[in-house]
Structure 1
Amino acid sequence: MSGPVVLTGRGLVGGIAEGEALVTREAVSGWGGVEPRRGRIIESRHELVGQSFAGKVLVFPGAKGSSGWSGMFHMSRLMGSAPAAMVFTTMNTKIALGVVVTHVPAVTDLDRDPFAVIRTGDWLRVDADRGQVIVTPRSR
């Protein structure tokens, strides 16, 4: 990629946010998988263990685990450590409720595989009102 790329999908929670991408091909567990005070992944076998999603655009397949997923992400919002936005590929009830209570722009059902286009560190503009993710690649 040389310039910005636009991915189009379906916005779930409206709004516009920008931030650095934090990308994982692994689903994220909320209950026991994140530490909401700092917005860190703490699931010991997760590829992002120890990394913070606070203020970043979290690009991931979706939620796994219990219904506590939404509660942990809601707590991250209350503690000021929520992601700036979420971009994900697999819809389920956990993620649907989670993006609503987290109050961040969220986009899914993209026209291209986000894992083939977006890398950690890329700059993303998530326009969930229009269902768009604009990717500005970092220098590779």
Structure 2
Amino acid sequence: MALSDRRSLAGESLLPGGAAGRLLVLTAPLSFWGGVQPKSGRIVMAGHPQHGREIGGRLLALPGTVGSSSSSSVMLELLREGRAPAGLLLASVDAILLLGVVVARELGYPPIPALRLEAAALAALPDGAAARIEEGRLVLG
């Protein structure tokens, strides 16, 4: 899956919806439990290449997650605090992380979409570029 001339990329919609924001393309897997500060949305995972960056309001491109079954509760806290990403772009499905979004939706917090993209396509995304998720696609620009 490569970007077409229209600068869009088809993916697998994991959670429906649309979102727009700047891409934050992580270059290493992230642990949400202990790796993201829920009150600020800042990456605090020691040694992470994007340490100190804020995920709030971004389209967060994750090459993977470092597992903890608590990542769903951190995502729920991020949504409650208004510090969550605008949308998730995942190289592989992380049901635990997505569960936090589903629970947040049930509690009345604004939902965010999630889209699965092939790992190579995700890694090639331009960090900081304006993008949007719409109808199972990532559109740049």
| TM-score bin, normalised by smaller chain | 0.7 to 0.9
Residue identity in the other structure for 1:114: L
Cα offset, 1:112, TM superposition: 6.2
- The residue number in structure 2 matching 1:108 is 116
Is the strand fraction higher in 1 or 2?
1
Residue identity in the other structure for 2:9: L
Q: Which runs of 5 or more residues in structure 2 are unaligned? A: 105-110
Q: Which runs of 5 or more residues in structure 1 are unaligned? A: none
Cα offset, 1:120, TM superposition: 1.3
The answer to whether the 8 A contact 1:35-1:42 is kept is: yes
Q: 1:124 aligns with which of 120, 123, 131?
A: 131
SS at match of 1:87: strand
- Relative to structure 1, the CA distance from residue 37 to residue 111 in structure 2 (aligned partners, 3 Å threshold; closer, same or farther) is closer
Q: Structure 2 length as normaliser, TM-score?
A: 0.84
The answer to whether the 8 A contact 1:99-1:106 is kept is: no
- Relative to structure 1, the CA distance from residue 19 to residue 67 in structure 2 (aligned partners, 3 Å threshold; closer, same or farther) is same
SS at match of 1:64: coil
Matched residues, number = 132
Cα offset, 1:114, TM superposition: 1.9
SS at match of 2:77: helix
- The residue number in structure 2 matching 1:80 is 82
Percent identical residues: 32
The answer to whether the 8 A contact 2:63-2:123 is kept is: no
Distance 2:60 2:90 in 1: 8
Q: Structure 1 length as normaliser, TM-score?
A: 0.85
Is 1:95 the counterpart of 2:103 in the alignment? no
Matches for 1:1-140 after TM superposition, within 5 Å: 4-101=6-103, 103-110=111-118, 113-116=121-124, 118-127=125-134, 130-136=135-141
The answer to whether the 8 A contact 2:14-2:114 is kept is: yes
Task: Please give the per-residue CA displacement for 1:9-67, whole angstroms capped at 9, x wherever unaligned.
Answer: 11111111100000112111011000011111000111111110111110111321210
- Relative to structure 1, the CA distance from residue 111 to residue 59 in structure 2 (aligned partners, 3 Å threshold; closer, same or farther) is closer
Moved over 2 A (4+): 92-96, 98-103, 109-112
